[in-house]
Amino acid sequence: MSDMLKEYKLNYTLDTIPENLDNKDSIIYNLLHEGFNDSNSSKFREDATNFISGREASEGKHGYDVDDENIEIKPKNFSGKSKLNCGGQFTDFTWSRHSKYQKDEVVMSVSGFNNGKLVYVLEFDYNHPTFIKRIEDQLSRLLPNGDEPNRYVRSASFSYIHFEDSDIKKVYVSPNLESHKHTMTRKLYEFLND
């Protein structure tokens, strides 16, 4: 069953939905459309990022986004508003969580979707100095004395410019990149098109 669902999810996000669908398949793809484009949940986009990266979907709700690897997935979906910029955020972030990510040598996996259709998956090292500086600048500004009870950095954010000088692995780039050009920043498009 899970292999069938994985196939449906990949068909949807890679825009390879078969042409002739029966009623059951039409319903499944309509439900997938809702799930991939749900602004309150990124579960389907995380699953697709894992599948394309050669990993299985995570069964866990908390912790890293891969059950047996230290990987943080940050999927973004373009829905006509802000452009894709390989951005992401860590919610309720603390110095101790940051230290754990550094110690665990976390791999960041950022993915971009255009209305649920996968455009790219990139990976880089959480411990890259420029990226670390971005995270620590936000932690220092909002938690200057270190961790405090019931205090967090609500949203420690980053984008492509905070890791563009790292060794970025292009896991996946859409073969139809040109048709997604309008969904992303110029700098990101140029990197993906290179």
Q: How many domains does the chain have?
A: 1
For 91, list phi and psi in degrees, rounded to 5: -90, 150
Q: Do you know the residue count of the chain?
A: 194
CATH of the domain at 83: 3.40.210
Closest CA to 154 of 163, 141, 169: 141
Closest CA to 43 of 27, 65, 28, 64: 65
> Position of tokens 């972030």?
93
Q: What is the pLDDT along the chain (194 residues), one digit of tens a residue?
A: 488 888 998 988 998 999 999 999 999 999 888 888 887 778 889 999 999 999 987 776 667 888 788 999 999 999 988 999 999 999 999 999 999 999 999 999 999 999 999 999 999 999 999 999 999 999 999 999 999 999 999 999 999 999 999 999 999 999 999 999 999 999 999 999 98
Structural domain boundaries enclosing 154: 2-193
